[in-house]
Chains A and B, each alone.
Chain A
Amino acid sequence: MDAIMLQEKLVERLLCPRVRTARQKEKQYVGFATLPNQVHRKSVKKGFDFTLMVAGESGMGKSTLVNSLFLTDLYKDRKLLNAEERINQTVEIIKHTVDIEEKGVKLKLTIVDTPGFGDAVNNNECWKPITDYIDQQFEQYFRDESGLNRKNIQDNRVHCCLYFIPPFGHGLRPVDVEFMKALHEKVNIIPLIAKADCLTPNEIKKLKDRVREEIDKFGIKVYQFPECDSDEDEEFKQLDKELKECTPFAVIGSNTVVEARGQRVRGRLYPWGIVEVENQSHCDFVKLRNMLIRSHMHDLKDVTCDVHYENYRAQCIQEMTSKLAQDNRMESPIPILPLSTPDVDTEKLIKMKDEELKRMQEMLNKMQQQMHDKDQ
């Protein structure tokens, strides 16, 4: 904040006519170098939002990891279903929202949970509710963006999906491959190796190599870290390189605090030792947290907006124009979107907006007519 104030003072002085000599000295300096700080201040005021999806079979430690990452207790009142109750359960989508504030910066964090994924005996297309949900969010944003009132668009698009791979297998299972292939062009997928405390360092390395190999083999596009700018310092570049070679991250989460080496840390207490969640030699939790929150949160959002959403939008428009060409209808100025999942509320909203459009159109026509008459 100090740097901002300093630069603001500088700008003030430049624009202030009183201190002439100073201004003449700093003639070269215009002052828009402070723009990033202005943007920074405005965003801090507005606050950020981030939507994170967690997917994977039950019992992979998803909820525990989310609690560990954001130091919250989002799943306090959760009841675990037993096997019988799960028989008729389909994959659900459950959202938890929490507002976190740290050093004046507000974050509205939404966690999208997917209970039931991969739990049934027959898991054919168990990812369909998830792809449908992601598409729905894109569609809603598309409508809002094309609408008339764009002041308060809510961005519910999923910015990142953490996919939990079980550590027990020898690599990716068929369900993992199919899930990631269905989602890799809709959302940023970050694969994680769950419950990594049951693997020795050697086994972790083998599994990571195997998973990376299979991701390449099946052509799955997971989230790629952006390349470092060439003007970043060597230390940063080195860290970045290490980060990239470490994927997929082998993580451990914990809801409990234990005493290790004289300190109280988040960890798991076993008869043979204590696993510390934040110890880099124990697991990659710290790397994941740094990457997800401290360095690449914004990039994840950017990629979602610029790549995934744009792909969706282009596809949508293409479908619509081809449909319109088929139907041979008059091209309307505002596109009429095909409904994928019509429900009562969106229908009403659409009707309202349609009527609003009609009225606007009529008014425009009237005005045009008036002007035309006037000219004549």
Chain B
Amino acid sequence: KNKGLQVLKANSGFSSGGSTLLGYIGIDTIIEQMRKKTMKTGFDFNIMVVGPSGLGKSTLVNTLFKSQVSRKSAGWARDEKIPKTVEIKSVSHVIEEGGVKMKLTIVDTPGFGDQINNDNCWEPISKYINEQFEKFLKEEVNITRKKRIPDTRVHCCLYFIPPTGHCLRQLDVEFMRRLSHSVNIIPVIAKSDTMTIEERQEFKQRVRKELENNGIEFYPQKEFDDDMEDKSDNDKIRETMPFAVVGSDKEHQVNGKRVLGRKTAWGIIEVENPNHCEFAQLRDFLIRSHLQDLKEVTHNIHYETYRAKRLNDNGGLAGGEPLNGLSLKKQRLFFI
């Protein structure tokens, strides 16, 4: 779907009192032109994964994008030690599908939640996100601006909740509370093959309730729903979140087909089987329907919030631009 562009349907001979279109103009071809241009330039997507080590973050990212895009190669890095403070490591790959090129950057946060004392372990992450906003802001207020500002802002943060089956931990609440206003947080329940379907439903309900009680708005945020259609779509998604996922980069034979899954002594867990886990839903949501929206919300809401705050604080930047009384209402911006 393409929001914001109104397409006039040319109906020959139809008079509506406004414009009378006789014959076909071809305005609707602008979509095709945009498409061609997008395909040529390609686009960026930056996704951050946060969670204690061992929850399958790298495997999930590899499974989502069907390629070895994560920081680690498949299998455990035997000598890898837990870093003493949270580090930010980003890796970029260009992947292509159907003629469309995407520069995918995975930002990993090893060390999060792994220490005995995890106080303020979210600070390096918050700092990183703000630094990316700052970079973009500086480019934007430059006198001579680049045609296409490189976008390193974090579009989406997958937060991995350990499948304890009880409820959210303090650390989870603290992190999401502090960062839900600077980045789109998508909570996922990692390694969910440890819970039965019942346990999973109960756990999700409890988690949703706790998020609500703590005022944590995860993506898709209710306040940014454009219209009724959006709202009903997003409501359905919000009811199923957090998605309970299982990741795997190994293939097994099931019913004559080769599927991605995990083979245990009691059966094979199929990653893309909606009866087994919600990986397929997460993938469709993240990549096939809301990828562009994630970028737009990041640009129009989170970035603008940061920008407004910065400008208000500094009373203007090094370009001498006067303050413009920015409204924080969602604007419709195209960016190519």
Given contacts A83-B210, A121-B170, A169-B54, are A271 and B197 in contact (CB under 8 A)? Answer: yes
Question: Which of chain B's residues have a CB closer than 8 A to the CB of A122?
Answer: 116-119
CB distance from A361 to the nearest CB of B (A): 50
CA distance A170 to B78 in the complex (A): 9
Q: Counting CB contacts under 8 A, is B270 at the interface? A: yes
B115 near A174: Cβ-Cβ < 8 Å: yes
The yes or no answer to A135 lying at the interface (CB within 8 A) is: no
B54 pairs with A80, CB closer than 8 A: no
Interface residues of B in 54-80 (CB under 8 A from A): 54-56, 76, 80
A198 vs B276: C-alpha distance when bound (angstroms): 13
From B53, B162, B263, A200 is in contact (CB under 8 Å) with B263
A273: Cβ under 8 A from any B Cβ: yes
- Nearest to B192 among chain A residues (CB) is A198
- Taking CB atoms, residues of chain B closer than 8 Å to A82 are 167-168, 206, 210, 213
A93 to B196, CA, bound (A): 30
Residues B131-172 near A (CB distance < 8 A): 162-172
User: Count of A-B contacts with CB under 8 A?
Assistant: 119
User: Which B residues form the contact surface with A (CB < 8 A)?
Assistant: 52-56, 76, 80, 82, 114-119, 162-174, 190-191, 193-194, 196-197, 206, 210, 213-214, 262-270, 275-276
Would A169 and B169 count as touching, CB distance under 8 A? no
A119 interface hit (Cβ, 8 Å): yes
CA distance in complex: A51, B191 (Å): 33
Residue from B52, B56, B196, B214 having most chain A Cβ neighbours under 10 A: B196
In the complex, how many angstroms separate the beta carbon of A90 from the nearest chain B beta carbon? 13
By the criterion CB–CB under 8 Å, are B266 and A121 in contact? no
CB nearest neighbor in A for B121: A121
Binary flags per residue of A267-290, CB closer than 8 Å to B gives 1, else 0: 011111111100001100000000
Given contacts A122-B118, A270-B266, 19 further A-B contacts (CB under 8 A): A59-B162, A59-B166, A80-B167, A82-B167, A82-B213, A83-B169, A83-B170, A83-B210, A84-B210, A122-B117, A124-B116, A166-B54, A166-B162, A168-B162, A170-B54, A197-B194, A270-B196, A270-B269, A272-B267
A interface residue numbers (CB < 8 A to B) = 57-60, 80-84, 86-87, 119-124, 126, 166-170, 173-175, 178, 195, 197-201, 206, 268-276, 281-282
Complex Cα gap A170–B80 (Å): 9
> B-side binding surface: helix, strand, loop or mixed?
loop
When the two chains form their complex, are residues B114 and A198 in contact, meaning their CB atoms are under 8 A apart?
no
Q: List chain A residues, Cβ under 8 A from B206.
A: 82
Question: Contacts A83-B170, A169-B54 known; A274 to B162 CB distance under 8 Å?
Answer: no
Given the complex, which residues of B lie within 8 Å of A173, measured CB to CB?
A: 82, 114
